[in-house]
Amino acid sequence: MGSVITKIEKYSPLLHKAKIGDTLVSINGKELEDVLDYKFFSYDPRLELVLESENGQRRTVRVKKDAGSDLGLEFTTYLMDRARACKNRCVFCFVDQLPRGLRKTLYFKDDDARLSFLTGNYITLTNLSEREIQRIIDLRISPINVSVHATEPELRATLLGNPEAANGYELLNRLASGGITMNCQIVCCPGLNDGDALSRSMTDLAALYPQVNSVSIVPVGLTKHRERLFPLKPFDRDSAAETLDRVNAFGDVCLEKHASRIFFPSDELFLKAERQIPEDVYYEDYTQLENGVGLLRLLQEEFSSALENEDVKSDGVPFSIATGVSAAPFLAKLLVTAKQKHDNIKGRVFPVINDFFGHTIDVAGLVTGRDLINQLRNKDLGARLLIPHVMLRDGEGIFLDDVTVSEVEKELQLQVIPIGQDGSDLFLAMTGNFSLNDLEYPKK
C-alpha cells in the first residue's frame, strides 16, 4: 500500500508512536486516498491518527504540533498511490517521438493532478473523475498547471487525440468559479492551433482572469523519429514571427485591461523569429520559467548583476560552453560582455547540433552526451566545459541517452561543470570563482 511508512524523521511527533512498516489509515477520522489527503488533513495542530501494524492490528495515536508543520513521515511512494498515466494521444506528444532503447522511465506519460500541485507538472484535465474535480475545489488545491492547447472543443479533442478533451474549457470554467488559480500552456502547432484558433483560445482564457493567471505559448518540438504519427510541420522564421505578433498584440490589450499580459511566448519563439528577447519588465513575475518563458532574459539580468561585482577576478583558465544551437548566439554575447570586463577571460561557445533527436531540435535541454562527445572531441576546449544542467536528468549526472558526466569527462579529457539556470552561477563558472559542491550534479 502507498501509505505504508518507510521513514520517520527525528523531528516527527510520531517518532516514538509509529513504526516503520505501519500503515497510516486515517487522520481525524478522514481516510487517506493519497498524498494530497495526507497533507491537507495533517495541517491541524491536534491530530488523531489510526495506524495499522504489519500484523493487521489497528491503534489510535494522538499528537500535537504546530499548525501546518510536517508530520515527518515518508511512504512507499511519494504520492501514496501510483502516478496516473496519460490516456491522451496528443498529436505532438514528445514521448511518442523518442527513439527505441532508452530507459523505461522516459516513455511514461503522467497526467496527474497531484503532481501538478506538488511538483508543477502539467495536466490536461481528461484524467479527472467528478470526485477529483470537486476535491480540487473543496481542498483549494491551487495553483495547478493545465495543458490547454486550444479551447474550441473539436480542435482540442483532435490535438489531444481524445474525445473527452472537448470539455476542457468547461472544466477550466468550473475550476475558475471554484477559486482555483491556473497557469496554462499552449503547445502551438503551425496550421492547427495557431492563427485564428490561437486568438480564440487567448480570448477564452483571458475571460477567466485572474483565475487563469498566466499562459505560455510554446512552439511544437518535432524529432526525426516521427514514424506513422500525425503530420506536423515545425515553425520557421515567418510563422514564428506571425505568432509572436499575434500573442504580443493580444498581450498588450490584456496589459491595458488587467495590468498583466497574461500570455507569454517562450524564448524559443523569439529565437526562431530572430527577434530580440524582451526586457525584464515584459515578464512580470516570471511565472512561466519552467516552460522556457523569460529564462534568457533572467539569465542576462543575473549575469549583468554579477558582472558588476568588483571583488570577482577571473582565474584566466581557458574554458568552453556547450549548449543547443538556438541559445548559442545569446550565450556568445554574454561571453563577449564578460571579456570586456575581464580581459583575461578565455572562453568559447560551441553550439551542439542534435544528431540524436534531429536537427529541428535545437534546445539545450535535449542535447545528449553522445552528441557532446562526437562534436567536441579534438576541439580546443580548455580546462573545463560548462553545460546547462537541463541537459541532465534532474538531480543526477546522466544525459537523456544514459551517457554520464564522468563518461563525457573521460572522452573529452577535461572537467565538465553543469550550471543551473542562474546567470550569477554562469559568470562565476566562467571566472573560476565557484564551488563544485554548489554547481555540479553527481557524476555516476
Which residues, including other chains, have CB under 8 Å from residue 256's CB and lie 6 or more apart?
none
**Grid coordinates representing 191?**
496550421
Domain housing 30: 5-75
Classify residue 86: in a domain, yes or no.
no
363: pLDDT strictly greater than 50: yes
The dihedral region occupied by 88, where left means phi > 0, alpha psi between -120 and 50, and beta the remainder, is beta
Task: Give the type of residue at 218.
Answer: V
Of 197-211, 229-243, 309-323, where does mean pLDDT reach its minimum? 309-323
- Given 293, 327, 349, the domain boundary residue is 293
Classify residue 90: in a domain, yes or no.
no
Q: Are 1 and 32 in contact (CB under 8 A)?
A: no
- Residue of higher predicted confidence among 126 and 85: 126
pLDDT of residue 436: 52
Biggest distance spanned by C-alpha atoms of the chain: 72
Classify residue 32: in a domain, yes or no.
yes
pLDDT of residue 371: 97
Please check whether residues 135 and 280 belong to one and the same domain: yes
155: pLDDT strictly greater than 90: yes
Distance CA 269, CA 271 (A): 5
The chain-wide mean pLDDT, for the chain, equals: 90
Q: Are 35 and 118 in contact (CB under 8 A)?
A: yes
- Residue of higher predicted confidence among 103 and 23: 23
**Grid coordinates representing 72?**
515527518
pLDDT of residue 444: 45
Q: Are 356 and 420 in contact (CB under 8 A)?
A: no
pLDDT of residue 442: 46
Please check whether residues 313 and 228 belong to one and the same domain: no
381: pLDDT strictly greater than 90: yes
Report the DSSP beta bridge partners of residue 324.
352
Please check whether residues 282 and 315 belong to one and the same domain: no
pLDDT tens digit sequence for 87-131: 889 999 988 888 887 877 776 666 655 655 556 678 888 988 888
pLDDT of residue 322: 97
Please check whether residues 306 and 420 belong to one and the same domain: yes
Give this prediction's pTM.
0.83
Please check whether residues 105 and 71 belong to one and the same domain: no
- Backbone phi, psi, residue 178, to 5°: -85, 5
Give ∠ CA 59-65-67 in degrees, rounded to 5.
120
Please check whether residues 52 and 106 belong to one and the same domain: no
Tracing cell 502551438 back to the chain, one arrives at 188
Q: At what angle do helices 328-341 and 295-307 cross, to 10 degrees?
A: 10
Classify residue 427: in a domain, yes or no.
yes
pLDDT of residue 94: 86
The pLDDT of 354-376, averaged and rounded, is: 94
pLDDT of residue 437: 53
**Grid coordinates representing 358?**
534531429
The pLDDT of 278-283, averaged and rounded, is: 97
pLDDT tens digit sequence for 331-354: 999 999 999 989 899 999 999 999
Distance CA 1, CA 4 (A): 6
CATH number for the domain including 248? 3.80.30.10
Q: How many CB atoms lie within 10 A of CB 10?
A: 6
Distance CA 85, CA 253 (A): 38
Confidence bin at 443 (pLDDT 50/70/90): very low
Long-range pairs, 20-24, Cβ under 8 A, ≥24: 21/53, 21/54, 22/51, 22/52, 22/53, 22/54, 23/51, 23/52, 24/49, 24/50, 24/51, 24/73, 24/75
Q: Are 3 and 81 in contact (CB under 8 A)?
A: no
Q: How many CB atoms lie within 10 A of CB 258?
A: 12
- Given 243, 259, 293, the domain boundary residue is 293
441: pLDDT strictly greater than 60: no
Distance CA 396, CA 404 (A): 9
Residue 5's H or E segment, with its range, is: strand 5-8
Please check whether residues 325 and 281 belong to one and the same domain: no
**Grid coordinates representing 13?**
511527533
User: Per-residue DSSP letters for 274-342?
Assistant: T-PPPPGGGGTT-TTGGGTSSHHHHHHHHHHHHHT-TT-------EEEEEETTTHHHHHHHHHHHHHH-
Share of the chain above pLDDT 90, in %: 71
pLDDT of residue 378: 92
Please check whether residues 369 and 225 belong to one and the same domain: no
Distance CA 443, CA 392 (A): 11
Please check whether residues 29 and 126 belong to one and the same domain: no
Give ∠ CA 428-429-435 in degrees, rounded to 5.
85
Please check whether residues 281 and 339 belong to one and the same domain: no
The three-class DSSP label of residue 110 is strand
Distance CA 120, CA 145 (A): 6
Tracing cell 548583476 back to the chain, one arrives at 305
Distance CA 319, CA 414 (A): 9
Q: How many domains does the chain have?
A: 3
Q: At what angle do helices 237-258 and 195-206 cross, to 10 degrees?
A: 20
pLDDT tens digit sequence for 184-235: 999 999 999 999 999 999 999 999 999 999 999 999 999 999 888 999 999 9
Please check whether residues 324 and 231 belong to one and the same domain: no
pLDDT of residue 348: 96
**Grid coordinates representing 421?**
539556470
- Residue of higher predicted confidence among 341 and 444: 341
Of 17-26, 122-131, 296-305, where does mean pLDDT reach its minimum? 122-131
pLDDT of residue 309: 87
Please check whether residues 234 and 320 belong to one and the same domain: no
Q: What is the DSSP letter of 93?
A: -
